[in-house]
Amino acid sequence: MIGDRTTGRSDRLGSPSSGVLVTGGGSGIGRATALALAEVGRPVAVWDLDGQAAEATAAACAEQYGIAAHWERIDVTDSSALAERVPVVATELGSLGGFVHAAGVAGPMEVDSIDDEMWATTLDVNLRAGAMLAKAAIEPFTKAGPGSAAVLISSIEGLFGSSLLTAYCASKGGVLGVTRSIAQRFGREGFRINAVCPGAVDTPMLAPAFDLLPGFRGRLEERTPLHRVSSPDEIARPIRFLLSDEASFITGTHLTIDGGLTSITAI
Ligand SMILES: NC(=O)c1ccc[n+]([C@@H]2O[C@H](COP(=O)([O-])OP(=O)(O)OC[C@H]3O[C@@H](n4cnc5c(N)ncnc54)[C@H](O)[C@@H]3O)[C@@H](O)[C@H]2O)c1
C-alpha cells in the first residue's frame, strides 16, 4: 500500500476496491500495471499467452502486496474464451470493476511486405480483443457499480505513421476509435474507458528494435525532450490513475505518455 507505514494510514489513490483484469500481464506494461494496482490493494487477474509469466506476475502481486491475485493462460484473440472466462474472473476476484488490455504484438512490416496472416494477428490481438473484452465486461461492470473503468493501450504510432509498422499503426489508430465509440455505450451505465498512447517503453517488445537498428536508441533519446525511454512503471501509474475515481470525468479520450516526443516537429 502507498501511504504512511508508521501510522498505518493507507492511501488507495482514489482506487475502488473492485478487481481488475490485466491482459498481457506477464510482461512489460501489463506486468507493471498489475503490480501498480496491487500496490493500492486492488485484486488482480493476470492473463497472458505465456502462462508461466502470468503466474509469476500474480505471485509477485500476492507476495508483495498481499492481495488476491489470479492468473490464467489465455489467448485474447479467442473471443469465446473471453466471454466464458470474464464472468469467472469476476467471481474469483469477488467483483470485476476494471480491465486493462495490455496484450499486444508488433512486427516490422512495410506495406510492401504485408501479408494477410500478420495483418490479421496484429489487428486481432491489439484491436479486436480490446473491443471483445469490453463486450464481456459489461455484465460484471454492472454488478461492480458505476465507477467501473477500462484502459486500452494505443501508442504514439496510433497518432502518426511509421513506415515499418503498417499493421501496428492501423491497430493502434483503431484502438483510439473503439475507445471513443465504447465510451458512449459505457457512459450510459456510468462506466468509463480511455486509451493511453505510450512512446518508447523499455520492455521486451522494444528490445528487438534496439538490437536490429544500430543507433536507434540514442537517436530516440536525443529527440525526446526528457532524453530517455520510459520504464513500464511510468505507463502503469497513469493507467492506474485512469482506472481510479480520481479520473471520474475522463472518458472517451487518450493520454499521451511519451516524454514529450510528439510535442516536437522534425524539420
Ligand atoms: N514497449 C513500447 O515501447 C510500447 C509503446 C507503445 C505501446 N505499447 C503497447 O503496450 C502494450 C504492451 O506492450 P509491452 O511493451 O509491454 O510488450 P511485451 O511484449 O513486454 O508484453 C506483451 C504481452 O502480451 C502477451 N500477448 C501477446 N499476444 C497475446 C495473446 N494473443 N493473448 C494473450 N497475451 C498475449 C505477450 O505474451 C506479452 O506477455 C502493447 O499493446 C504495445 O503495443 C508498447
Domain spans, the chain = 17-259
pLDDT, position 267: 60
What whole-number distance in Å separates Cα of residue 67 and Cα of residue 163?
43
Q: Report pTM.
A: 0.96
> What fold characterizes domain 17-259?
Rossmann fold (3.40.50)
pLDDT, position 85: 98
Distances (CA, A) of 178 to 64, 75, 82, 134, 254: 35, 20, 18, 10, 11
Phi-psi region at 166: left, alpha or beta (left = phi > 0; alpha = psi -120 to 50): alpha
Q: Which of 168, 186, 191, 241 is catalytic?
A: 168
Q: Is the CB of 86 under 6 A from ligand 1?
A: no
Contacts 24+ apart (CB under 8 A), 51-55: 51/26, 52/26, 53/26, 53/27, 54/25, 54/26
pLDDT, position 112: 93
What whole-number distance in Å separates Cα of residue 255 and Cα of residue 136?
24
pLDDT, position 7: 40
| Neighbouring C-alpha atoms within 13 Å toward the C-beta of 26 | 17
- List, in sequence order, the alpha helices (H) in the chain: 28-39, 51-65, 79-93, 116-123, 129-144, 166-187, 207-212, 216-223, 233-243
Task: Specify whether the CB–CB gap between 156 and 171 falls below 8 A.
Answer: no
pLDDT, position 265: 76
pLDDT, position 60: 98
Residue nearest to atom 43 of ligand 1 (CA): 104
What is residue 129's three-state secondary structure? helix
What whole-number distance in Å separates Cα of residue 44 and Cα of residue 226?
32
pLDDT, position 243: 98
What whole-number distance in Å separates Cα of residue 82 and Cα of residue 75?
9
Residue nearest to atom 17 of ligand 1 (CA): 205
Those residues of the chain that have pLDDT short of 50 are 1-10
Q: Is the CB of 198 under 6 A from ligand 1?
A: yes
pLDDT, position 94: 96
Measured in Å, residue 106 CA sits from the centre of ligand 1 at: 8
| Neighbouring C-alpha atoms within 13 Å toward the C-beta of 181 | 10
Measured between alpha carbons, how far apart are the two ends of the chain, in Å?
46
> Is 168 considered catalytic here?
yes
